């Protein structure tokens, strides 16, 4: 596999807060395994880690494995991500390994592949060892799991200030809050079917053009798009109702548009067009 050089990082930068969180979590659970997720950005060919989240109050830590408290982690990730002017993204994970074992297990490979599939940039995965001193090893994780060891540094001054700016009272307005809620709704919808972003196939893009024009004039839905090569993911948020829907639009072998909702409902292009315009009768 040939990697796009624009997506190959040259190093990892940890904020002092994120690095301290990893150290504290490691100390608290010694000698057991533990870990957490990493929030930040892929920026200027670097993974820039701004927050590190512990695995939660309900996490299960043993001498050889650990399991997240997913409800806790998801809640705290949303809270911390929203505290920055440029909301943080989930960029990777870290966990401790026993002794000096600094390679990924088969279970680690499965987890790393899942994280890498969520972003066009892949993911960041870090291992912590105490042998006997604290040692953190950082790896870039492409989708094909051809791991690349990366140098890691710590320092708030090394992180791009545009990524590190917290929100303040001046950022708050009713319009901003409405826009922010829409972004969060769309993000939660896209998480249902994680796919990597890639340019739409030409035939699909041409076939979808009338449908996208219809989206722009209809009044029922706000929407977000994610191009995924062979399909277009369309997240729909009802403006005056509770409906939230995620669709994948693609071409069938005959070259006609098909729409598949994440709950399994399938419509042809005409039916889906009608669905966009129909008066709300419930989701």
Q: 136-164, pLDDT tens digit by residue?
A: 999 999 999 999 999 999 999 999 999 99
DSSP run (H or E) holding 257: strand 257-261
Residues 54, 4: Cα–Cα separation, whole Å: 32
Q: Which residue has better confidence, 259 or 63?
A: 259
Q: Is the pLDDT of residue 81 over 60?
A: yes
Look at residue 219 and tell me whether its pLDDT is greater than 80.
Answer: yes
The domains of the chain, with CATH numbers, are: 5-163 (3.40.140.10), 173-277 (no CATH)
* Cα-based distances in Å from 240 to 224, 243, 244: 17, 9, 11
Percent of the chain with pLDDT over 90: 64
Least confidently predicted of 130-144, 169-183, 207-221, 252-266: 169-183
Report the DSSP beta bridge partners of residue 263. none
Residue 215 CA to its chain's centroid (Å): 26
For residue 7, what pLDDT is reported? 64
Is the predicted pLDDT of residue 46 greater than 60, yes or no? yes
**Mean pLDDT, range 238-260, rounded to an integer:** 92
Contact between residue 28 and residue 59 where contact means Cβ atoms under 8 Å apart: no
More confident position, 30 or 240: 30
pLDDT at 63: 86
Give the pLDDT confidence score for residue 3 in this predicted structure. Answer: 46
Per-residue pLDDT tens over the stretch 159-180:
999 999 998 887 777 777 677 7
Flag whether pLDDT at 64 surpasses 90.
no
* Cα–Cα dist 132/260, whole Å: 53
Pairing of strands 11-14, 66-67: unpaired
Q: Does pLDDT of 50 surpass 90?
A: yes
Alpha helices (H) in 174-201, listed in sequence order: 174-191
pLDDT of residue 2: 44
Peptide bond preceding 182 in cis form (omega within 30 of 0): no
Residue 279: predicted pLDDT: 58
pLDDT number for residue 28: 93
Question: How much is the mean pLDDT over the chain?
Answer: 89
pLDDT band (50, 70, 90) for residue 17: very high
Query: Quick one: how far is CA 268 from the chain centroid?
Result: 30
Instruction: Please tell me whether the peptide bond between 235 and the residue prior to it is cis, using omega within 30 degrees of 0.
Output: no
Of 84, 108, 153, 99, which Cα lies nearest the Cα of 129?
A: 99
CA distance 18 to 240: 39
How many whole angstroms separate alpha carbon 242 and alpha carbon 55?
Answer: 31
Q: Which of 63-67, 146-150, 192-196 has the highest mean pLDDT?
A: 146-150
């Amino acid at each position: 596999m040939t990697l796009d050089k624009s997506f190959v990082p040259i190093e990892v930068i940890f904020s002092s807060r994120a690095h301290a969180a990893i150290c504290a979590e490691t100390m608290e659970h010694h000698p057991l395994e533990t870990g957490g997720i990493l929030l930040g950005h892929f920026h200027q060919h670097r993974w820039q880690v701004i927050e590190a989240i512990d695995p939660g109050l309900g996490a299960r830590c043993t001498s050889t494995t650990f399991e997240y408290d997913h409800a806790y982690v998801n809640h705290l990730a949303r809270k911390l991500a929203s505290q920055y002017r440029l909301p943080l993204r989930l960029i990777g994970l870290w966990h401790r390994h026993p002794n000096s074992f600094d390679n990924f297990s088969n279970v680690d490979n499965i987890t790393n592949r899942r994280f890498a599939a969520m972003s066009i940039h892949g993911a960041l995965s870090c291992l912590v060892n105490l042998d006997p001193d604290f040692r953190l090893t950082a790896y870039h994780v492409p989708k094909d799991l051809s791991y690349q060891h990366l140098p890691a540094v710590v320092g708030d001054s090394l992180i791009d200030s545009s990524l590190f700016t917290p929100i303040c009272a001046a950022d708050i307005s009713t319009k901003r809050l409405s826009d922010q809620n829409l972004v969060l709704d769309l993000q939660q919808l896209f998480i249902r079917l994680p796919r990597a972003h890639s340019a739409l196939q030409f035939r699909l893009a041409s076939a979808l053009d009338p449908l996208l024009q219809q989206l722009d004039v209809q009044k029922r839905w706000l929407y977000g798009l994610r191009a995924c090569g062979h399909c277009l993911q369309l997240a729909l948020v009802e403006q005056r109702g509770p409906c939230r829907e995620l669709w994948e639009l693609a071409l069938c072998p005959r070259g006609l548009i098909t729409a598949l909702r994440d709950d399994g409902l399938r419509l042809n292009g005409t039916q889906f067009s009608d669905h966009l315009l129909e008066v709300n009768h419930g989701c």
